[in-house]
């Protein structure tokens, strides 16, 4: 115990003593003094140092958030992430130095993501490290060694029509515009938490410095696992299959949000990362709009959820308490964003409770909240149109016994792996409940489980989430 504590203290102190890279410090000074960021609230602290980092939950964070939202309106952009990229000084050519190592990477989606790198290795017979080169640099390098053959290989890799002229600039422009889902930025966005809207760690160091982004943790963030990780209710198998239809459809449609002609992705009306169900009902959005929206609700989302919950379950049971307390208080987009933040915190507390129960009692009780039977059915679709699901025909069929077992076991395994990892992720701490009644009730839940009194344990656990929801409302 003492050894573990000393190790943690040593780790924290090593971070405290570390100085930021001089190129990043110079970058901070340049950004703060640039006209594009004029009006950002309180850029300097009382001691004259730059106030680069703020928490979105603090008063200062909320003031800065207003500045970013105002910029969204002024620039008529999709979201704050688009603002961050739009106002980044042109003289920097989209490059930002890493706080730790100083390496400059692009803020734009220009690097092949993990799956695309696998495709490059398979099709081009060349292996590249993550963020080693941009797509443009890779195609140019491959052209220099393979000649015109590179165009055929690139068409295969990125699903490009043969009608596009065999020109490197034309190919890369098409990929950057219409194949963004196959790419990654070198720096992730997070306004208003950072002054200019980007993480201080670039992709080169983020997996090392941000413990929640270690490879073993990142492996749990893939699309079809999120419902398991968040213990979301809903037919996850049907929802995942329908999401796959969006990914397979390469037709260009006019995005309902930005108006650009792009392929559509499936947008959860209620994000499962906020506690909503993983149900086969999505709104179509292009990938940039979907990524920019992230886990935030809009006012129109809330209105749609209120309408749809009259006919179906939209919120998972463990998060229904906070939703029911706040859903009728939402009057505009600012309220919806505020609700999103509270629901994120609430769900993290829910997972923390599950994790503590799991560590004390094992799987038996918590497994009663999982629905592995959804894995026993497969689905295919006819008349799929991402812009209008009213004509969609869903055809179900039973899976063979081998697949049934494999899928159900994976569902349960991932759900419990999340609870194990939740306690390990040091930088994933959330606002603790600091509530003696909550702590006492959790102990009662554990005692009831150990006595095999599952019905009593369930009632007590619901009481825990009611108490947490009531406390979270105070953040409103």
Distance CA 250, CA 257 (A): 18
Distance separating alpha carbons of residues 431 and 208, to the nearest angstrom: 24
Query: Phi and psi (nearest 5°) for 382?
Result: -125, 150
User: pLDDT per position in the chain (476 positions), as tens?
Assistant: 444 444 444 444 444 445 789 999 999 999 999 999 999 999 999 999 999 999 866 788 889 989 998 998 899 887 788 899 999 999 999 999 999 999 999 999 999 998 899 999 999 999 999 999 999 999 999 999 999 999 999 999 998 888 899 999 999 999 998 888 788 999 988 888 899 999 999 999 876 655 444 444 433 333 457 888 899 999 998 999 999 899 888 888 999 988 888 889 999 989 999 999 999 989 999 888 887 777 889 999 999 999 999 999 999 999 999 999 999 999 999 899 889 989 988 998 999 999 999 999 999 999 999 999 888 888 999 999 999 998 899 999 887 766 667 778 888 888 988 888 776 654 444 555 668 899 999 999 999 999 999 999 999 999 999 999 998 887 77
* CA separation, residue 166 to residues 174, 175, 252, 267 (Å): 12, 13, 21, 34
Question: What φ, ψ does residue 338 adopt, rounded to 5°?
Answer: -60, -45
Kindly state the tokens that stand for 249. 């459809």
CA distances from 219 to 74, 212, 215, 216 (A): 38, 11, 6, 5
- What does the domain layout of the chain look like in residue ranges? 18-101+186-203, 109-183, 210-471
pTM: 0.65
pLDDT for res 212? 45
pLDDT of the residue at 157: 92
Tracing tokens 């069929």 back to the chain, one arrives at 397
State residue 62's pLDDT score: 85
Closest CA to 154 of 10, 166, 309, 163: 166
**Residue position matching structure tokens 């179900």:** 396
Question: What is the Cα–Cα distance from 398 to 120, expressed in whole angstroms?
Answer: 36
Which residues are 366's β-sheet partners? none
């Amino acid at each position: 115990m003492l050894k573990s504590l000393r190790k943690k203290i040593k780790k924290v102190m090593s971070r405290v003593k570390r100085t930021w890279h001089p190129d990043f410090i110079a970058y901070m000074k340049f950004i703060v003094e640039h006209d594009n960021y004029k009006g950002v609230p309180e850029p300097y602290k009382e001691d004259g140092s730059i106030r680069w980092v703020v928490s979105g939950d603090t008063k200062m964070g909320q003031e800065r958030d207003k500045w970013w939202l105002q910029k969204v309106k002024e620039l008529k952009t999709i979201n704050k992430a688009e603002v961050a990229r739009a106002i980044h000084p042109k003289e920097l050519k989209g490059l930002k130095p890493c706080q730790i190592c100083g390496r400059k990477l692009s803020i734009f989606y220009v690097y092949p993501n993990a799956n695309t790198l696998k495709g490059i290795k398979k099709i081009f017979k060349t292996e590249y490290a993550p963020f080693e080169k941009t797509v443009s640099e890779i195609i140019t390098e491959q052209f220099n060694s393979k000649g015109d053959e590179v165009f055929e290989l690139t068409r295969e890799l990125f699903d490009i029509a043969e009608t596009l002229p065999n020109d490197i600039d034309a190919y890369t422009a098409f990929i950057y515009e219409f194949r963004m889902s196959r790419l990654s930025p070198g720096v992730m966005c997070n306004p208003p938490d950072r002054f200019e809207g980007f993480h201080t760690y670039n992709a080169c160091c983020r997996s090392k410095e941000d413990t929640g982004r270690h490879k073993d943790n990142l492996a749990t963030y893939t699309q079809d696992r999120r419902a398991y990780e968040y213990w979301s209710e809903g037919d996850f198998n049907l929802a995942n299959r329908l999401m796959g239809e969006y990914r397979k459809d390469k037709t260009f449609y006019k995005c309902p949000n930005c108006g650009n002609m792009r392929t559509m992705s499936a947008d959860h009306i209620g994000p499962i990362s906020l506690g909503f169900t993983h149900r086969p009902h999505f709104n179509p959005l292009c990938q940039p709009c979907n990524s920019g929206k992230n886990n935030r609700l809009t006012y129109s989302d809330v209105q749609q959820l209120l309408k749809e919950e009259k006919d179906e379950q939209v919120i998972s049971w463990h998060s229904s308490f906070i939703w029911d307390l706040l859903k009728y208080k939402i009057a505009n987009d600012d309220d919806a964003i505020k609700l999103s933040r509270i629901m994120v915190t609430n769900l993290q507390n829910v997972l923390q409770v599950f994790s503590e129960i799991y560590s004390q009692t094992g799987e038996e009780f918590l497994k009663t909240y999982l629905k592995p039977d959804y894995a026993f059915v497969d689905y295919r679709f006819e008349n799929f149109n991402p812009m209008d699901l009213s004509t969609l025909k869903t055809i179900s069929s039973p899976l063979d016994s081998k697949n049934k077992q494999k899928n159900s076991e994976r569902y349960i395994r991932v759900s419990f792996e999340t609870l194990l990892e939740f306690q390990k992720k040091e930088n994933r701490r959330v606002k603790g409940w600091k509530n003696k009644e909550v702590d006492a009730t959790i102990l009662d839940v554990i005692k009831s489980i150990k006595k095999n009194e599952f019905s009593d344990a369930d009632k007590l656990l619901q009481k825990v989430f009611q108490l947490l929801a009531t406390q979270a409302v105070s953040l409103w």
